[in-house]
Structure 1
């Protein structure tokens, strides 16, 4: 009997809580939602917005991220911009150094080109002088007697003698070779033939 009394007491307390507290509370919430919706208030957005500021609730509500302080974001952006600026300044410095190195190389090459041009001009003048000297020698040997020319040429070094023989006319060359010893004439003829083949 006592058990039945306890059960009926628990049921009556549960019924009292259900009818007096829970049902009126749910009804009041429903009426408030309807009234706010009719008034044009989006209740769920408002709940998300207020829920953001409550520490435990903000982690439960999906899609709500904690607000990032605008000043902190600006600081982060400023730090990123300063890092980018430093990188770009470093790249500019590297490029300036590279330009200076290339300019130094260009200057060195220009100096070398000028030096080579001067050497080339000097060689051209030397060749002109040598050509002039050969022409002068040719005139001397052309006017000299063939006997004297043959005697002098055999006393010269082979290269010098060949240079002179090459500048002579065919008639003078054959006359001078005829006045030489046969061995000398054969040697110069062979050397002239070799140089002509080259």
Structure 2
């Protein structure tokens, strides 16, 4: 029994004698290599890559990782391409809206210019008519009342009233004196009605 115990102790002692110095030597070697500037972790990777069964497992794992990464990248690319297509559609739609608005603005501007031109023409025409009408009034005012009265009574009432209402009061009185009583009464009544409507 004692021999058995002695052999166990001696094996344990041998283990301690070999294992402790080995650990010490490895620790000292790591410290020396680190101080010397050697990347111990990188060296350990390189050495483990040279071991055949570890290397093949690592290569399989790397291939699997690469395949997964490629799949992720392709999915991301598809998503990005879809987003690009959608954004392009939005841009096209907005450009269409802008083109439509631009055309509407151009059309409205053209219509505005056309209306402005027509308005200017009407103003010029009205100015010309006003000038011609004033010239006619001046002509009738300079005519002798004996000559102008018969001409005015031959006109339609609207034209006659236009001329008579634009004459000076003194000239109007002389022209009405030279008309027949019926014509003078009729035109005077209409002049009074016209001035009443204008005052309203």
Q: What's the TM-score bracket when you normalise by the shorter of the two chains?
A: 0.5 to 0.7
CA distance in 2, matches of 1:91, 1:75: 24
Q: Which residue of 2 aligns with 1:121?
A: 120
* Contiguous gaps of at least 5 residues in structure 2: 1-64
Residue in 1 aligned with 2:161?
A: 162
Structure 1 residue runs without a partner (length 5+): 1-66
Distance 1:70 1:121 in 2: 75
Counterpart contact for 1:134–1:167, Cα < 8 Å: no
Query: Paired residue for 1:69?
Result: 68
Report the Cα offset of residue 91 of structure 1.
0.9
Match of 2:104 in 1: 105
How many residues align? The count is: 132
Question: Which string of whole-angstrom CA distances, capped at 9 and with x for unpartnered residues, describes residues 34-92 of structure 1?
Answer: xxxxxxxxxxxxxxxxxxxxxxxxxxxxxxxxx99232222222211111111110111
Shift of 1:166: 2.1
Instruction: Measure how far apart 1:132 and its partner are.
Output: 0.9
User: After the TM superposition, which parts of structure 1 deviate over 4 Å for at least 4 consecutive aligned residues?
Assistant: none
Q: Which residue of 2 aligns with 1:7?
A: none
Check the 8 A contact 1:134/1:163 in 2, yes or no. Answer: no
Given the alignment of the two structures, is residue 180 of structure 1 paired with residue 174 of structure 2, yes or no? no
When the two chains are superposed, the root-mean-square deviation of aligned CA atoms in Å is 1.9
1:83 aligns with 2:67: no
Greater helix content: 2
CA shift, 1:104, in A, is: 1.3
Partner SS, residue 69 of structure 1 = helix
Using a 3 Å threshold, how does the CA distance of structure 1 residues 97 and 179 change in structure 2: closer, same or farther?
same
Q: TM-score, normalised by structure 2?
A: 0.60
Contact 1:138 1:168 in 2 (8 A): yes
